[in-house]
Structure 1
């Protein structure tokens, strides 16, 4: 089973890239973030023409998440239960026998800001909900843009901002791992300086000044089946790309 995650940074703008990528990579499930479109504007016809079904949770201008899949999505959950939030950042569905969650974690704006406090509260609510999800769905993949670089290997040396790398953010990421999840990328030997996001400014992509903030966390029953996990930089090289690249994991039996 091949599962991927991709912050497309506007589904409308990146739709041609997405359709081409689906045709090339043929993932079984793809988690999208930052759709930036309301549900009524979701390009369902184009997605279905590409051979995929879709469930989505969108809003105008900001945020928005979706799961595209070849198999039907079952038991769909939108938003974190019991957490009051107008921002559309979560969608979960069962694909085959795997629970797949697409998450768009809060950016946080600046350490110490109100949005930073919201980020930490959101992550705490996510972690509490995932405890129940893992009980009900032992095979689970939490995929998305986490807006957290877990350790110094995931940050280019010129990153001067404390945001995305602060101790509380990294502790929140560790709390997710402590549930019994594993970072699929780090289960395997990987090239140094592998990132998934590069700023549009300062020729960051060309200079590989990036961060690894897009992750696929897999539950314990799936760990042994992880055969490959990689960042596909190809879409980032296109004209008018997302600032994120897809991250893909291949799961064996």
Structure 2
């Protein structure tokens, strides 16, 4: 394989936006896709349509809220983990991990945390701490790893059109940003920022006050690369045309391409699957 294209896309309801997803897959043909916010139970995941589009998939749904999936073109993702470790009482479907084309791909949907302060923000920070701990273990494994998803964190003021309008939002709080900085300090590379160090790049435009039409966006969807993958970063971008479609999600797909073959298939860690086994294809 000359290159590997990995994308993350908060679809904001896969049943309502199945057509948007299938059009994007056909046009852009990413090799690996991490989906967030499915807002559908496992039985409602449109696996037949996704298979017809040429993709294998694993998914972890949840009624009305949350939900994550990993898609792989012309192959089946090998599931490693379902659910983030560290809290057996956490019932949210926010994390999947799989081996695809020699790379460990982690798909995450980090809690939004609003309103803050309050229990939702506390849960966001608690989840983030668990993720930081798990990411350290992935880094220590020696496998090539991509951490892809909706982090619900605006890393700096350069990643938002106007920070003054969002000062009280959980996405910009110092605690949220400090967690993201500690994650990067482990040795991960923020791929989109590495590719565009001096440009304002957005991945999310909310539905209010014509934010899309005015390009009043935020960068909250991130792909982080382990040190062995960072030198192979070839390109990165945001498929903005998807956000301009009718009935679009408020996020646009964000992607990277990696040079060369990832090598031998990643040896998965001990599986810790949660949810319905029938969700695996």
- For the aligned pair, the TM-score class normalised by the smaller chain equals over 0.9
Structure 1 stretches of 4+ with a deviation exceeding 6 A read none
Question: Equivalent residue for 1:150?
Answer: 155
SS at match of 1:211: coil
Which of the numbers 206, 229, 240 marks the counterpart of 2:247? 240
Contact 1:99 / 1:137 at 8 angstroms: preserved in 2? no
Aligned-partner SS, 2:166: coil
Trace 1:1-253 onto structure 2 (pairs within 5 A). 1-70=4-73, 71-84=75-88, 85-157=90-162, 159-163=165-169, 164-189=171-196, 192-253=199-260
Q: Return the offset for 1:50.
A: 0.2
Q: CA deviation at 1:136?
A: 2.5
Structure 1 residue runs without a partner (length 5+): none
Q: Deviations over 1:89-129 (max 9, x none)?
A: 00000102100011000000123111001100000001111
Query: In angstroms, what is the RMSD of aligned CA positions?
Result: 1.3
Aligned 8 A contact 1:236 1:243 in 2: yes
**Greater shift after overlay, 139-148 or 151-160?**
151-160
* Cα distance in 2 for residues equivalent to 1:165 and 1:83: 25
**Conserved? CA contact 1:98–1:137, under 8 Å:** no
Query: Contact (CA 8 Å) 2:191, 2:224: kept in 1 or not?
Result: yes
Structure possessing the higher relative contact order (Cα contacts under 8 Å, 6 or more residues apart) = 2
- Number of aligned positions between the proteins: 253
Looking at structure 2, the residues matched to 44 and 30 of structure 1 have their Cα atoms a distance apart, in angstroms, of 14
Question: What is the CA–CA distance in structure 2 between the aligned matches of 1:11 and 1:143, rounded to whole Å?
Answer: 18
Q: Secondary structure at the match of 1:168?
A: helix
Distance 2:253 2:193 in 1: 16
> Alpha carbons of 1:230 and 1:101: their partners in 2 closer, same or farther (altered >3 Å)?
same
Query: What is the rounded CA distance, in whole Å, between the counterparts of 1:174 and 1:152 in structure 2?
Result: 14
